[in-house]
Structure 1
């Protein structure tokens, strides 16, 4: 371990967190909060983990549903297309589950490693990718159910509507807000 200019210890391969700016401890962040950089990183990491706690029950419910479906008698009359969509849905839910649980698992595995900023960046990417893959799983599940109960044309239209809705709510609307300057870039 090396020491930084402020006397703080830094692990090899990590960037030291500056304790002072311009000779004084500036605790006011870009968003107007009175917190140090380390406090901001801690807060943002906890916010991210709490957000994932909201998403995970839905993913787990969809996963459980998909695990039960093959054991129902009605699956005997499933078409090849429906089986393919089921497979895509199942794989997407597994990947989404892995990505959405990864931040909590890595937070625990890297406990007291003093590299929360890197963990936060990585966890944010995992969460975003997990939500994108979850959107694929939701759309595919809707297509599967509507095709099974009604017909393929209705399934494709309904799946398209759900895809547009999720795309707008999860990506489009935040992107517009960010472009207008209403969201923090980090």
Structure 2
């Protein structure tokens, strides 16, 4: 594997670290409102909880964006352009991640000791996260220059396959964790008290996340069973389609469950519908509409 391809793989592997933590935290946020003690939380804690969910949806949307962009725009090729995008997205993602973590600590503090403890826990969490995540960038003035071989690099078929399998692993662990939380929800007392249409909507969300998980597992199984692990171009194209299709169902599943969660917390179906619709637009916009527009713009630029 050449230097450009290795750098891109390392960048994607680093995104996997963020993604697993982000989707486990989002899964907890989806699960929390169905616990018996949630209704006893003060109003300000529930507002903070909604803020944490919104922040984590943004985090998940941003973290998957480079993989979708790499599939759609770069067609699996490695180089400085995709490396910069992954780096920029990571830097942008850490702020809403820190905010969501702080808000979740605020909710936990509210449940334990009240507003003063909640504020102290949230403040300490926010300062620690920003300090550790952004501090090195502030104080490190001697970062090496980019040493890739040009703006982009045509990757070999073997490298493309390794990168697309890495990108499926970026999303898969988090999707599986989220699926586990969604399955656990149906066994809670809070879920039993939901109206019938909300239960059906959660069932649809569960089905979408399950299908996304199946699609993300498929490339590895397909590669092993059909191609016996051979590095062929045909498999790379199929794997890319599976990964991109999985993101559509992931967006649908997340948006549907946001409708259920917001309606349960606020008791306002209209607000829940707006929140779910907004989440879907943001996720599909980041994962499909923006990359497709960038690919089209690139084609137009080359034809002129």
TM-score tier, shorter chain, comes to 0.7 to 0.9
Q: Distance in 2 between matches of 1:166 and 1:123?
A: 21
Match of 2:246 among 93, 109, 130: 130
Q: Distance in 2 between matches of 1:111 and 1:167?
A: 31
Aligned to 1:18: none
Question: In the alignment, does 2:161 pair up with 1:69?
Answer: no
Q: Distance in 2 between matches of 1:79 and 1:100?
A: 32
What is the TM-score when the length of structure 1 is the normalising length? 0.73
Question: Residues 262 and 272 of structure 2 are in contact (CA less than 8 Å); yes or no, is this contact kept in structure 1?
Answer: yes
Q: Relative to 1, partners in 2 of residues 1:114 and 1:46: Cα closer, same or farther, differing over 3 Å? A: closer
CA RMSD, 1 decimal? 1.7
Q: Distance in 2 between matches of 1:167 and 1:125?
A: 15
Moved over 3 A (4+): 110-115
How far 1:176 moved relative to its partner? Answer: 1.3
Aligned to 1:8: none
Q: Distance in 2 between matches of 1:113 and 1:99?
A: 18
How far 1:110 moved relative to its partner? Answer: 3.5
How far 1:115 moved relative to its partner? Answer: 6.3
Q: Relative to 1, partners in 2 of residues 1:99 and 1:169: Cα closer, same or farther, differing over 3 Å? A: same
Q: For residues 6-25 of structure 1, give each alpha carbon's deviation from its aligned partner in whole angstroms, at most 9, with x where no partner exists.
A: xxxxxxxxxxxxxxxxxxxx
Aligned to 2:269: 152
Aligned to 1:104: 220
How far 1:55 moved relative to its partner? Answer: 0.5
Count of residues in correspondence between the two structures: 147
Q: Distance in 1 between matches of 2:153 and 2:190?
A: 57
How far 1:109 moved relative to its partner? Answer: 2.0
Q: Relative to 1, partners in 2 of residues 1:113 and 1:61: Cα closer, same or farther, differing over 3 Å? A: closer
Q: Relative to 1, partners in 2 of residues 1:154 and 1:112: Cα closer, same or farther, differing over 3 Å? A: same
Alignment of 1:22-37 (within 5 A): 32-33=153-154
Q: Relative to 1, partners in 2 of residues 1:92 and 1:54: Cα closer, same or farther, differing over 3 Å? A: same
Alignment of 1:1-186 (within 5 A): 32-33=153-154, 40-112=156-228, 114=230, 116-150=232-266, 151-181=268-298
Q: Distance in 2 between matches of 1:159 and 1:55?
A: 21
Question: Residues 259 and 272 of structure 2 are in contact (CA less than 8 Å); yes or no, is this contact kept in structure 1?
Answer: yes
Question: Residues 255 and 276 of structure 2 are in contact (CA less than 8 Å); yes or no, is this contact kept in structure 1?
Answer: yes
Give 5+ residue unaligned stretches, structure 1. 1-30
Give 5+ residue unaligned stretches, structure 2. 1-151, 300-304
What is the TM-score when the length of structure 2 is the normalising length? 0.46
Q: Per chain length, whose mean CA-contact separation is higher, i.e. which structure has more relative contact order (CA < 8 Å, sep 6+)? A: 2
SS at match of 2:298: coil
SS at match of 1:71: coil
